[in-house]
Chain A
């Protein structure tokens, strides 16, 4: 079945650093979504990407839909304490409503 490889699994960074994470797939997707989940809450949609090559920003967050349609990345610039959480990528293939989820990237900011 379809799988997403999300990396890194976790990140330990200093406040102010930039963050980069990515997802790759063996299959083509027509939509890439990035979510953030904080403890005790549901995933919150950060960015949705619909076109190959699309680059979209949401504040300090920037995400790109890979040209091959098999990958996507998320960057966070100048991280702050409230960025802590687990970031998930999710992809949707043609004519299929089902989200295929990455395993998540846990972001931890060193005090």
Chain B
């Protein structure tokens, strides 16, 4: 079975540009999470979707960040405009049947560099 798929794996952009990160969760999972990982802050939960509905976006740092989940197999995280401090690795994770919803399965991540 395919795991969580993220694209792109690497993104280098200039400050002020729009960045869109994409995620395909594991088929059948009904929960999706976006995380950001940095050396300084570790793994931070940005937003959580359940059945395609955003449940908790309290971790989204600013209005520059937005996330959508138009259907059960696709989600995007958008940063507009991007800033150098947004540089980090962004992970998407999903959970759901048949295992417990606490068991989150991570994608390979998107390494974002904002110059």
Report which A residues bind B (CB closer than 8 A).
Answer: 31, 33, 35, 40-45, 48, 50, 88, 92, 97-99, 101, 103-104
Contact = CB atoms under 8 A, between A and B. Distances in A.
Interface stretch (B13-21, B62-70, B74-82, B101-109): B101-109
Given A33-B104, A35-B106, A45-B105, 7 more contacts: A43-B91, A43-B106, A50-B100, A92-B102, A97-B50, A98-B56, A99-B45
B91 A48 contact: no
A31 B107 contact: no
A83 B34 CA distance: 27
A97 B42 contact: no
B12 interface: no
Interface in B92-115: 93, 99-109, 111
Contacts of B103: 33, 45, 48
Contacts of B100: 31, 48, 50
Interface residues of B, number: 23
Interface in B2-59: 4, 31, 42-43, 45, 48, 50, 55-56
Contacts of B99: 48
B91 A97 contact: no
Contacts of B91: 42-43
22 contacts: A31-B100, A31-B102, A33-B103, A35-B106, A40-B108, A40-B109, A41-B108, A41-B109, A42-B91, A42-B107, A43-B91, A45-B103, A45-B105, A48-B99, A48-B100, A97-B31, A97-B50, A97-B101, A98-B45, A98-B48, A101-B42, A101-B43
Contacts of A31: 100, 102
A103 B102 contact: no
Contacts of A50: 100
Contacts of A104: 42
Q: What 6 pairs between A and B have smallest CB-CB spacing?
A: A42-B106, A31-B102, A92-B102, A43-B106, A101-B43, A42-B109
B101 to A, nearest CB: 6
Contacts of A101: 42-43
